[in-house]
Amino acid sequence: MPGFIAALEQLNRELTAGRVDPLVARFSVFEYTCTAADVSGGLGTADGCTAAGQVFRAFRTSSWRSEGGTRPVEAIVANLQGYEDDFDTTKSDEYGPGTFRVYAYDPTKTTAVLTVTSKCLPQFQCPASGFQRLVWVPEFEYVDGHWKIRSLMYAFVLGEEFLDPPSVEVKQRMPQWTKFE
């Protein structure tokens, strides 16, 4: 799989503009056909299904220490763009500057850790600083000569486990966790 580090360097250059567009442009989107089980909902079912046989453009997401699933890509894009409005890249903390960037990666798992500082989101309790650090963990795949994001994990709760030093659980998921420099 050629050029994973080079692909991360390019992604990092694009992310510093503080936009989610570079992530979205790399999504490995696929067509998903809803089943009857999807319509009834529950663990392991696709979100956004209203009828068996319904087809939509899909992407896989998850949350750290929780279940993930297949969702309409438009919903994921809207969600990311909503977070983008609250990015506050002027802040810094013990993990460094608040710029949107690649923080770490595992070349053997073709996985990265992305982070940015943000205004405190209403659903979270933030420290006295009034801001929080958002963390995403994309898994990449090499498709037709390009590195694409196969899935995106949100790690807003316990996201610091992916930062320096990574937790034992993260080291199990990313055994060759390496800080991006």
pLDDT tens digit string along 38-97? 988 876 778 889 999 999 999 999 989 877 889 999 999 999 999 999 999 999 999 999
Q: What is the DSSP letter of 161?
A: G
As a whole number of Å, the end-to-end CA separation of the chain is 21
The distance from CA 155 to its chain's CA centroid, rounded to whole angstroms, is 8
In a domain, 92, yes or no: yes
Structural domain harbouring 134? 4-27+81-179
In a domain, 59, yes or no: no
Q: How many residues does the chain have?
A: 181
**H and E: helices and strands count for the chain:** 5, 10
Handedness of CA 79, 49, 31, 68 (dihedral sign): positive
Q: What is the pTM of this model?
A: 0.92
In a domain, 142, yes or no: yes
Backbone angles phi, psi at 18, to 5 degrees: 80, 25
Burial category of 77 from C-beta neighbours within 10 Å (exposed 0-12, middle 13-18, buried 19 and up): middle
SS3 label, residue 55:
strand
pLDDT, residue 69, reads 87
In a domain, 94, yes or no: yes
pLDDT, residue 21, reads 96
Domains contained in the chain, number = 1
Q: What is the pLDDT of residues 4-34, one digit of tens each?
A: 999 999 999 999 999 999 999 999 999 999 9
In a domain, 19, yes or no: yes
In a domain, 90, yes or no: yes
Task: To the nearest 10°, report the CA torsion of 116, 110, 63, 22.
Answer: 40
In a domain, 55, yes or no: no
pLDDT, residue 14, reads 97
Q: How confident is the model at residue 1 (pLDDT cuts 50, 70, 90)?
A: low
- Are residues 93 and 117 in contact, defined by beta-carbon separation less than 8 angstroms? yes
CA distance 59 to 69: 8
In a domain, 64, yes or no: no
CA distance 19 to 88: 11
